[in-house]
Chains A and B, each alone.
Chain A
């Protein structure tokens, strides 16, 4: 009893922290079924280990770990590490709080308020925090600002990050406006739900002389909280997440009388949280690259022998003929011959047999991949999965147990391998933004795919670009081309006015920012491709001539000068090179263009000079050119006579 009293006496001095252990989402399926997020291995150590080491490093002396599921596993783990005298256990006391009834982040904080364990300012870590931030100066700053401003409730910690960096999750993009005291005036999360505009309340600018608006920030998911935070959560039971809390405080500033501040960490301090697989990947790489120094992973070999950036755990056996790059491999992993691992995250006790390929994927603990398996495209293989010989897994989640009944069409891959459908866990309505958000929460693909991500974003109003992750790179020109084809097909079928079609094409041109040269080229290419939709082989030529006749005004509009003619001929050549039908009748097509005065004789001859003389196209064109030249000579001789 007396011990407790002295504890209370000290409580205002020591620094306390709260870790919420559950993310309450399904981001980590299928692994989250078997392993709690906190014990998920991140570069060979459970995540909780990094979080606790960070807090101990930051000077925190008492930690409340709030668990809602997998309680026993976490309890046992913490007990074991305390017995083993792990480094953090000396400076930091860990209390586990269990409440299985909590369903959200907000519920946890309300529960904490009811328990009344926290007295002073405390550090609040959202699930999955990894960091090396020095907390003491920030806490001091928080105390200073609360001395100035009695309503100070929270100091959010952010880090600067560039657009396109892996560690900056597109799902957590924020825009933040603050005044010169670093008080947050405006805070908005952009989830890419088709929002291109942000509205700032006018008061933000009217009431402050100096406002800085930031869009270069990455959330560390760490915040310093005043004691008033917990009662605020209790009073407003609609606060489910930290974002709700911030939004609520900013909206009802007068009523709640609370303010939020923010802090930017600098130099070699680094922070982040694993909120989804994408962040898991980013943080793994950052950890392996020592961004969190002095908190570094326990990998024995971080060596160059397997190509760039492979981190390997203890007791692994890796065949020499395997090819490993940018991957992280856990403890006790066996890797057979001719295995290719690229951007793969292999957890402990995995066995990968000969000739397997794992790329851009995660393989959970104790899984077995038999000979010749292929796991690619952001797949996640859960714990204890056994993949049969030559299984092919692409872009899917695989778990070892048969999924619950509500997953109707179960895809069984083996005794201990069931594929989870990616979309069927939708409870929210399936809006575009949501889909995108889900995709962003999954693993990064390699460079090319990352690029296609960006492009589809720019044109996020078209469904096509979004749903096909693996479709070929939809760069602007390609998008423009398909748009033109659509317009022309519709125009031809519905017999629309060519003038209107020109207007349509021009507007797509501006939408995709395509150069005039590309417009000419793509329009001709589109027209030449059009007949393929209805006819083939022998019927191609008549169909083509019909289309050409019909689109004559369009041709006239676009083929205006010599440059345009050159583009046009180039288009004909390219299409002919890839299609037999057009190649057969290229002379006739050229003749048609010549007859209708779309292309001049000089342009054709000039083009012919540049033409590859051994190509198939060349052979077909020669008679026409000969005829042209003869005609020219004839005409010139006529003239001279």
Chain B
């Protein structure tokens, strides 16, 4: 019974995501972090193992109900890693002083076998401290990324972006404080989020042009940089971005225009999935956006796909900009091992 009370938190989160109440990945991330913080501070657990099991249970629930959602899972995986680190640190500090190279090597082997079931009274406080830090990191992530804007955007450049992304918006607005430059926004049919993006940019006095998706290739020759956001970064450095981004990236490749992707750390996912696994990789939205239901009997005969995501292979991405700075796509695996524990990659 108790178990169920706890899960309600997560189910509420899932419901909100599903019903579109939490639209930006930042708010999803904050909610996920918050709910785990609650679990750690109020939940009934005695050992790290128990806590990790509780979190894994939640992870599985989310994977089951929202197979395409990555942000919550990444946050939870990272917190699992934090628990492991704190646990190890907690025991290490007790046994401080005996660290030799030989000890490190053997201890590492032991560690894999370590069951995290020994009670560690200081763990809870340490975790809450660490989570508070992590929360600050989350909150500052957007600003940290934006503060790098002046390194990447120069005066009189033409920047192209696709659809709407809060991170990109922040980034461009930050650059506009010191530089004058043009932005071309691809409207990104069929949801046309580019319109809202362009309106918001224009409000901050940035020269903005909206173009249809079909005009991307024609405009690309005039573009200096493509700056986009993404939903998820796959383990190989490929992107799961809004549909239409792949063609933009290909056009950029053709004209050798650099493609920069702004990512928060919680968007890096340890999962490999790519274009040919459409069922696991993609979400298909209502065909009504593409062909209205009033189109008549033709709908009886056609099968309409309206994918939300596009897979962009890593070789089309020039640079990932995280709050720590720029990284190439080939470096993503390294970032992953910093973020998550290998045991938590697959559940």
- Interface residues of A, Cβ cutoff 8 Å to B: 56-57, 85, 87-88, 90-91, 132, 159-167, 216, 267-270, 289-294, 301-303, 308-309
Chain B 55-70 interface 0/1 with A at a Cβ cutoff of 8 Å (1 = within): 0000000000100000
Q: Which of B8, B65, B285, B294 is in CB contact (< 8 Å) with A216?
A: B294
Contact assessment for B8 and A268 in the assembled complex, using a CB-CB cutoff below 8 Å = no
12 contacts across the A-B interface (CB closer than 8 A): A56-B15, A85-B11, A90-B8, A162-B296, A162-B297, A165-B300, A269-B288, A270-B288, A289-B304, A290-B306, A293-B286, A294-B18
Q: Which residues of chain A have C-beta atoms less than 8 A from B279's C-beta?
A: 301-303
| Min CB–CB distance B277 → chain A (angstroms) | 11
Given A57-B19, A268-B288; A165-B11 close (CB under 8 Å): no
Q: Which residues of chain B have C-beta atoms less than 8 A from A165's C-beta?
A: 293, 296-297, 299-300
| Min CB–CB distance B257 → chain A (angstroms) | 33
Q: Which of B286, B289, B293, B300 is in CB contact (< 8 Å) with A160?
A: B293
| Min CB–CB distance A42 → chain B (angstroms) | 17
A208–B234 Cα gap in the complex (Å)?
61
Q: Does B7 contact A (CB under 8 A)?
A: yes
Contact assessment for A90 and B289 in the assembled complex, using a CB-CB cutoff below 8 Å = no
A216–B18 Cα gap in the complex (Å)?
31
Contact assessment for B287 and A166 in the assembled complex, using a CB-CB cutoff below 8 Å = no
Q: Which of B11, B12, B19, B300 is in CB contact (< 8 Å) with A294?
A: B19
Which residue in chain A gives the minimum CB-CB distance to B20?
A294
A303–B303 Cα gap in the complex (Å)?
12
Q: Which residues of chain A have C-beta atoms less than 8 A from B286's C-beta?
A: 132, 268, 270, 290-293
Chain B 40-67 interface 0/1 with A at a Cβ cutoff of 8 Å (1 = within): 0000000000000000000000000100
Contact assessment for B288 and A164 in the assembled complex, using a CB-CB cutoff below 8 Å = no
| Min CB–CB distance A331 → chain B (angstroms) | 15
A89–B284 Cα gap in the complex (Å)?
25
Contact assessment for B293 and A159 in the assembled complex, using a CB-CB cutoff below 8 Å = yes
Chain B 3-18 interface 0/1 with A at a Cβ cutoff of 8 Å (1 = within): 0100110011011001
Q: Which residues of chain A have C-beta atoms less than 8 A from B293's C-beta?
A: 159-161, 165, 167, 270, 291
Which residue in chain A gives the minimum CB-CB distance to B302?
A289
| Min CB–CB distance B10 → chain A (angstroms) | 9
Q: Which 8 A-B pairs have the closest CB atoms?
A: A162-B296, A164-B297, A160-B294, A268-B288, A268-B286, A293-B286, A293-B285, A290-B284
A132–B287 Cα gap in the complex (Å)?
13
A534–B295 Cα gap in the complex (Å)?
52
Q: Does B325 contact A (CB under 8 A)?
A: no
Which residue in chain B gives the minimum CB-CB distance to A290?
B284
| Min CB–CB distance B143 → chain A (angstroms) | 32
| Min CB–CB distance B306 → chain A (angstroms) | 7
Q: Which residues of chain B have C-beta atoms less than 8 A from A292's C-beta?
A: 286
Q: Which residues of chain B have C-beta atoms less than 8 A from A166's C-beta?
A: 299-300
Contact assessment for A289 and B285 in the assembled complex, using a CB-CB cutoff below 8 Å = no
Counting chain B CB atoms within 10 Å of each CB, the highest count among A56, A87, A269, A292 belongs to A87
| Min CB–CB distance B298 → chain A (angstroms) | 8
Q: Does B97 contact A (CB under 8 A)?
A: no
| Min CB–CB distance A208 → chain B (angstroms) | 25
Q: Which residues of chain A have C-beta atoms less than 8 A from B287's C-beta?
A: 289-291
Q: Does B292 contact A (CB under 8 A)?
A: yes
Contact assessment for B303 and A85 in the assembled complex, using a CB-CB cutoff below 8 Å = no
Contact assessment for A268 and B284 in the assembled complex, using a CB-CB cutoff below 8 Å = no
Counting chain A CB atoms within 10 Å of each CB, the highest count among B20, B292, B294, B304 belongs to B294
Within 8 A of A (CB), among B128-187: none
A270–B292 Cα gap in the complex (Å)?
10
| Min CB–CB distance B61 → chain A (angstroms) | 9
Which residue in chain B gives the minimum CB-CB distance to A309?
B303
Which residue in chain B gives the minimum CB-CB distance to A295?
B18
Q: Which of B8, B20, B294 is in CB contact (< 8 Å) with A85?
A: B8
Q: Which residues of chain B have C-beta atoms less than 8 A from A164's C-beta?
A: 296-297, 300
Within 8 A of A (CB), among B260-311: 279, 284-289, 292-297, 299-300, 303-304, 306
A302–B12 Cα gap in the complex (Å)?
28
Q: Which residues of chain A have C-beta atoms less than 8 A from B304's C-beta?
A: 289
A128–B279 Cα gap in the complex (Å)?
28
A90–B292 Cα gap in the complex (Å)?
32
Which residue in chain A gives the minimum CB-CB distance to B298?
A162
A374–B279 Cα gap in the complex (Å)?
33
Q: Which of A267, A302, A303 is in CB contact (< 8 Å) with B289?
A: A267
| Min CB–CB distance A13 → chain B (angstroms) | 18
Q: Which residues of chain B have C-beta atoms less than 8 A from A56's C-beta?
A: 15, 19
Counting chain B CB atoms within 10 Å of each CB, the highest count among A216, A268, A302 belongs to A268
Which residue in chain B gives the minimum CB-CB distance to A53?
B18
| Min CB–CB distance A344 → chain B (angstroms) | 17
Q: Which residues of chain A have C-beta atoms less than 8 A from B300's C-beta?
A: 164-166
A56–B16 Cα gap in the complex (Å)?
11
Q: Which residues of chain A have C-beta atoms less than 8 A from B296's C-beta?
A: 162-165
A57–B296 Cα gap in the complex (Å)?
28
* Given A85-B8, A88-B15, A291-B286: 19 more A-B contacts, CB < 8 Å: A87-B11, A87-B65, A90-B12, A91-B19, A162-B296, A163-B297, A164-B296, A165-B293, A165-B296, A165-B300, A267-B288, A267-B289, A267-B292, A268-B289, A291-B288, A293-B284, A293-B286, A302-B279, A308-B303
Within 8 A of A (CB), among B237-266: none
| Min CB–CB distance A354 → chain B (angstroms) | 29
Which residue in chain A gives the minimum CB-CB distance to B304?
A289
A194–B45 Cα gap in the complex (Å)?
72
Q: Which residues of chain B have C-beta atoms less than 8 A from A167's C-beta?
A: 293
Q: Which residues of chain A have C-beta atoms less than 8 A from B65's C-beta?
A: 87
A469–B285 Cα gap in the complex (Å)?
37
A56–B19 Cα gap in the complex (Å)?
9
